[in-house]
Amino acid sequence: MGRGRAPRFPCLGGGRVLPRSSLPAGDTSVLAGLYGPAEVKVSKEMYDKATVEVLLRPKVGLPGVFEKNREQLIRKTCEAVLLGALHPRTSITIVLQVVSDAGSLLACCLNAACMGLMDAGLPMKSLFCGVTCALDATGAIGLDPTAKQEKEARAVLTFAISSVERQVLLSTTKGPCSVEEEQLGLWGGQARYRRRVRQETGGGRVPWRQGEGNPWGMGVPS
């Protein structure tokens, strides 16, 4: 599976170009800023690997417990793919700002974080992609639901799927579902992952340079 990569830049303390991840249906947009490997506070320092920090800022209001939970999910996913052992006693900070929310927010945040990590040139052992599945009352599965579909859905499943054997890195569910439906959702997510990777690596990749601030559109045709 070929993997396209943005030109690598040496990582300094400052922020790199902010990649933006947007899904086509209704423009859910998350801006990701990546800083690192940078200096870390002695209290948070880890002697053998990099300390990953994720800050998720909602569009309105102050971040609360809900955002903290999301931050932990994204942080653990990034920690799993980052080769933190190559940068011990440093910190890698990912700041995610929600620009607009029209459904599938967690998946969008995951995609933005992955793009950001790639853009900053940080060493990773695999890429990952976030996918949301919504199960409606009849048991039909819809991928990348809009906010309206999410509300009406019986259950919403979000997965982060890695490029290594399409393993599941992250899984959260909202609402009850049967075991078979969850398996179906996972399979659907993995199928969508394949398409998304093709999108990133295949033709139509937007060429961009450092400092231009060109938003990285990662749309998937439905």
Name 91's Cβ contacts closer than 8 Å, sequence gap at least 6: 36, 37, 38, 39, 40, 41, 44, 50, 51, 52, 53
* 68 binds other proteins, rule: CB under 8 A: yes
* 168 binds other proteins, rule: CB under 8 A: yes
* 93 binds other proteins, rule: CB under 8 A: no
Nearest distance in Å: CB 167, other proteins: 3
Question: Which of these segments, 7-15, 115-123, 177-185, 195-203, binds other proteins (CB under 8 A)?
Answer: 177-185
Name the residue among 144, 151, 149, 137 with its Cα closest to residue 191: 144
Cα dihedral across residues 150, 140, 77, 204: positive or negative: negative
Identify the helix (H) or strand (E) that includes residue 118. helix 105-119
Considering beta carbons, is residue 165 or 212 the nearer one to other proteins? Answer: 165
Question: Which of these segments, 5-13, 64-72, 200-208, 211-219, binds other proteins (CB under 8 A)?
Answer: 64-72
Separation between Cα atoms, residue 31 and residue 19, nearest integer Å: 6
Considering beta carbons, is residue 188 or 215 the nearer one to other proteins? Answer: 188
Cα dihedral across residues 102, 106, 112, 115: positive or negative: negative
* 127 binds other proteins, rule: CB under 8 A: no
Residue 163: both structure tokens together: 């490029």
Q: By rule CB under 8 A, what string of x and - marks binding of each residue 18-47 to other proteins? A: ------------------------------
Could you say which of 186, 196, 216, 218 contacts other proteins (CB under 8 A)?
186
Residue 207, preceding peptide bond in cis (omega within 30° of 0): no
Could you say which of 31, 162, 200, 218 contacts other proteins (CB under 8 A)?
162
Binding site for other proteins (CB under 8 A): 65-66, 68-69, 71-80, 126, 155, 157, 160, 162, 164-165, 167-179, 182-183, 186-187, 190
